[in-house]
Amino acid sequence: MEFVFSTDQYAREERYNAWRSAICDCYVHVDVEATDPEDYKGFIHEKNFGDLVLTDILVSQQTIRRNQKHISKLDKDCFYVQFIHSGKSQVRQLGEVHSSNTAQGALFCATEQYELECIGDVRSFYLKIPREEFAQRFPKKYIPTAANIDTTQGLGRITTEFCAMLATEGARLGEEARGQLGKQLLDVLALTLQAPTGDLPGKDSSIRAARLRSVKLWIERNIGDDDLSLGTIAAANGMSLRYLHQLFRDGDMSVSEWIWDRRLLLCYHEIAKCDGRLLTTIAYKYGFNNSAHFSTAFRRKFGFSPRQLATGKGH
């Protein structure tokens, strides 16, 4: 996560005014009233995942208000989703009150007036979600204006754990991978809001497709590891071996076949650069540890040897 602001860099008596000046007047456009402005603390870190913004934020006890004056300054029609790590809050919008705590998240509209009461010091994840992209995932493009999300089970729990993984691993990912994962998170969140009980739909293809894409991205990032195994993949992605095999069952390849096929394709693209590197160096980089096995598998897939490709004789 990338640093945005922290009150730690200010003297205690300056922290509240610094927060209001840097964050409330410029960053989110709200009014804030702290319960104890003499003992204020807060920080913000964020990361973009495509059009979705994930923020890790700490605030002291306070009341936050957004009115028409603030809304007129916004450049996008968005929704917020709050998942709390510690503390609790209440959001009031359009005559409804939605509570948020460690067991329950809240969705509300960023471009409607609201009042958010933070009870105690509140540490939470916020998702900033563009309305138009999110609406594509709902029947007739209808998104609930405000809603609660059970984060203790089913899709709600999957969504919060997905956020936590993105916050932890996002800095290691490239822009394209983050964009793909942001879309997957929107898929899962939309399913969460449409599931009446919050339970995981047993045969829903969208959630399976999102999980499969996530697993493939993880494998791609670790494909050169010597100790890469199906057990390692399953454990790192929080699933059983049985479920890992089920994810690949609808495709043309098993998980093992997909890994070796991907390795060969990556080697092909590297060798085709003809940059003078040894073929064994490239093969070992992508998980092959036997040059004879690599050469045989390469010829079987492409119809010519790695050396022929390196010398321009491959087709």
> In the prediction, which pLDDT does 240 show?
83
Q: Does this chain's domain 2-210 share its CATH topology with 222-315?
A: no
203, pLDDT greater than 70:
no
Name beta bridge partners: 31. Answer: 65
The CATH superfamily assigned to 2-210 is Jelly Rolls (2.60.120.10)
Name beta bridge partners: 128. Answer: 53, 80
> pLDDT class for 47, splitting at 50, 70, 90?
very high
**Helix (H, G, I), strand (E, B), or coil: what is residue 59?**
strand
Residue for token pair 């300056």: 14
> pLDDT class for 311, splitting at 50, 70, 90?
confident
For the 222-315 domain, the top CATH level (class) is mainly alpha
247-291 pLDDT per residue, tens? 888 777 899 999 999 999 889 988 988 888 899 999 999 888 888
> pLDDT class for 17, splitting at 50, 70, 90?
very high
DSSP states along 210-273: HHHHHHHHHHHHTTT-TT--HHHHHHHTT--HHHHHHHHHTSSS-HHHHHHHHHHHHHHHHHTT
Mean pLDDT of 3-12: 93
> In the prediction, which pLDDT does 206 show?
57
- pTM value is 0.62
Mean pLDDT of 98-107: 91
> In the prediction, which pLDDT does 207 show?
64
Q: Domain coordinates of the chain in residue numbers? A: 2-210, 222-315
DSSP states along 75-134: SS-EEEEEEEEEEEEEEEETTEEEEEBTTEEEEEETTS-EEEEEEEEEEEEEEEEEHHHH
| Vertex 213: Cα angle to 208 and 215 (nearest 5) | 95
Contact 19, 150 (CB under 8 A): no
